[in-house]
Copies of this chain bind each other. A is one copy, B any other.
Amino acid sequence: MTEVDSVVAHGAHDLRVQRTELPMMSASEVEVAPAVGGICGSDLHYFHDGGVGDFTIREPLVLGHEIAGTVTRIGGDVIGLPVGTRVAIDPSRPCGTCESCRRGERNLCTDGRFLGSAARTPHVQGGFRRRIVVGAAQCVALPDDLNFADAVFAEPLAVAFPAVGRGGPLLGRRVLVTGAGPIGALIVLAAHRAGAAEITVTDVLDAPLAFARRLGAHATVNVAEIDGDGVIEECDVAFEASGAPAALPTCAARLRPGGRLVLVGLLPPGLVPAPGNRVVTRELDVVGSFRFVGAEFRAALDALATGLDVSALLTGRFGIDDAVAAFETASRREESMKVQIVFDGS
């Protein structure tokens, strides 16, 4: 039985670097040595709250689902992924047999396994450790000139790109993005690339808004200081990426009749105050966007491989032994955008 160093959440504010047991590898699986892992907002929720949305940590959980690394062993049925292949890992493993999968909506799989998630118990252990076992089908080989630090952005990009797609064609459209954290920032980047005519971004801190401007925002509003209602123009499409319920009425108030609101940020579980009457009378479309299918993960990686520059978003790198410091730094939104954990690969 192999044990490897891992970043393990035991509950709120109880994150430990400790050895965990590596599971057996089946014939269709591979073992990967992670090189870089990105800390995501849901990792931070596990760190601070001991859970995220409806999911609560019920047993020790290795965090991490933004992972790139090198294949170190392969199962008997695996072809085309020789040891030594540099890969990005798609953290989703849909079941293939639920009603959603049968409809082809694998992003909506109701029985899937997602790396580093407490959605099911036993939890699916994540990728912040020195070795990880995943399905070969989850691995996408990296082009030679794509480094690991960029490649791990494939996962959050695979969230942001379909979310932007859910907004419909953006060419010439006026866009509002509420929340300028890593996902909001990538949505700004994507909306800018998609030809949005005007992109307005709101947040409650100046630092992330500065990032948003660098990534393509035409205007930013610190809604902790200024009432957005007075200064935000009417828009065609809004993306809610803050997870803050207060953003919902802002979005609805600024959308034109027939406009479209894409909810990306994970809102608090249960009920939140929402502008339902306005959705009816203005005939708005409000659509959720949460996960992605394999083709979307590959498309995100392709975008990185062909020059999409996300390096401005990387604000910190820490070794695995400094994982707690990494999480604390990532939590300070006034200074951090994306923080990565670097594994030595040995």
On A, residues with C-beta under 8 Å from B are: 53-54, 96-97, 99-100, 102-108, 110, 137, 161, 164-165, 167-172, 190, 193-195, 197, 245, 248-249, 256-258, 263-291, 293-295, 298-300, 302-303, 306
Q: Are A273 and B272 touching (Cβ within 8 A)?
A: yes
Q: Which residue of B lies closest to A234 (CB)?
A: B99
Complex contacts, A54 vs chain B, CB 8 Å = 277, 281
Out of B137, B194, B257, B299, which one reaches A108, CB within 8 Å? Answer: B257
Q: Are B107 and A105 touching (Cβ within 8 A)?
A: no
Q: Are A287 and B284 touching (Cβ within 8 A)?
A: yes
The copy count of this chain in the complex is 4
Q: Which residue of B lies closest to A164 (CB)?
A: B171
Q: Are A137 and B97 touching (Cβ within 8 A)?
A: yes
Complex contacts, A172 vs chain B, CB 8 Å = 161, 299-300, 302-303
Q: Are A258 and B290 touching (Cβ within 8 A)?
A: no
Q: Are A195 and B195 touching (Cβ within 8 A)?
A: yes
Q: Are A102 and B283 touching (Cβ within 8 A)?
A: no
Q: Are B282 and A288 touching (Cβ within 8 A)?
A: yes
* Shortest 5 CB-CB contacts between residues of A and residues of B: A104-B104, A274-B274, A108-B257, A271-B273, A102-B294
Q: Are A288 and B279 touching (Cβ within 8 A)?
A: yes
Q: Are A197 and B303 touching (Cβ within 8 A)?
A: yes
CA distance A279 to B100 in the complex (A): 16
Further 8 A-B residue pairs, CB within 8 A, beyond A54-B277, A104-B105, A271-B276: A100-B256, A104-B107, A105-B258, A161-B172, A272-B274, A272-B276, A282-B288, A284-B288
Q: Which residue of B lies closest to A249 (CB)?
A: B271
Q: Which residue of B lies closest to A198 (CB)?
A: B306
Complex contacts, A104 vs chain B, CB 8 Å = 103-107, 293, 295
Q: Which residue of B lies closest to A252 (CB)?
A: B271
Q: Are A108 and B293 touching (Cβ within 8 A)?
A: no
